[in-house]
Amino acid sequence: MTLVAVGIGLAAAPFFLSLRPAIQVIGGILFLLHSILDGCDGELARLKFQESRWGGVLDFWGDNLVHMAVFAAMSFGLARATGRAWPLACGAASVAATAASTFFVYARTMRGLKEGPLYTSVSNRPGSTIARVVDALSGRDFIYLVLLLSAFGKADWFVVVAAFAVPAYFVALVAVALSDRRALAS
């Protein structure tokens, strides 16, 4: 199920190369379908008692690979439409920050062996205010905005937002890690 969800998400990316609303909407629907199926794969594994560390890791990395592919396609589509290079810089910033955030979260919360769910929070102290805020920002609600923008043929505008938002999210992850470290030291 995870591989199907990732495949659908990756299939969404090329649709964001176009500026035509109908084409972008197809990409937006596939991107949303990826998100829905991604939410189902863990539930299905738990129901069938087939949860595994490998499945959790595959799910985590697959989701982030899809996000990076979509951001890259949006930036290429916008660069092609405008004839300018700045959208490629926006895409590079959002893809690089997504990769950095993915590696950071994996290293901090998922790398070691542990009991229970593989990933529950970006923090070792999930009850702290900063951890709750960053956990809320780690959701996939942005996909609805991408779908809405797609209806107007403007999904590629999202990469401009992502060029600032995703690096800011990475900075917030580092702040959570520093906050966790300070709390452990005291």
Longest dimension (CA), the chain: 56
Q: What is the pLDDT of residue 140?
A: 75
Dist CA 114 CA 98 (whole Å)? 25
Q: Per the structure block, which two tokens stand in for 85?
A: 């290079």
CATH number at residue 169: 1.20.120.1760
Q: What's the domain range around 111? A: 2-185
Answer for the pair 31, 70: CB distance below 8 angstroms, yes or no.
yes
What is the predicted pLDDT for the residue at 115?
A: 53
Q: What tokens were used for 64?
A: 């982030």
**Measured between alpha carbons, how far is 139 from 27 in angstroms, rounded to an integer?**
19
Nearest to 119 by CA among 128, 110, 131: 110
Q: How many domains does the chain have?
A: 1
Distance separating alpha carbons of residues 133 and 179, to the nearest angstrom: 13
| Tens-binned pLDDT, residue by residue, of the chain (186 aa) | 788 889 999 999 999 999 899 999 999 999 999 988 877 766 666 666 666 666 777 888 899 999 999 999 999 999 999 999 999 999 999 999 999 998 988 888 777 665 545 555 666 666 666 777 777 677 778 888 999 999 998 888 899 999 999 999 999 888 888 887 887 777
What b-and-e string marks burial along 31-42, b requiring 16 or more CB atoms within 10 Å of the CB? Answer: bbbbbebbeebb
> For residue 16, what pLDDT is reported?
94
Report the pLDDT value the prediction gives residue 48, as an integer from 0 to 100. 63
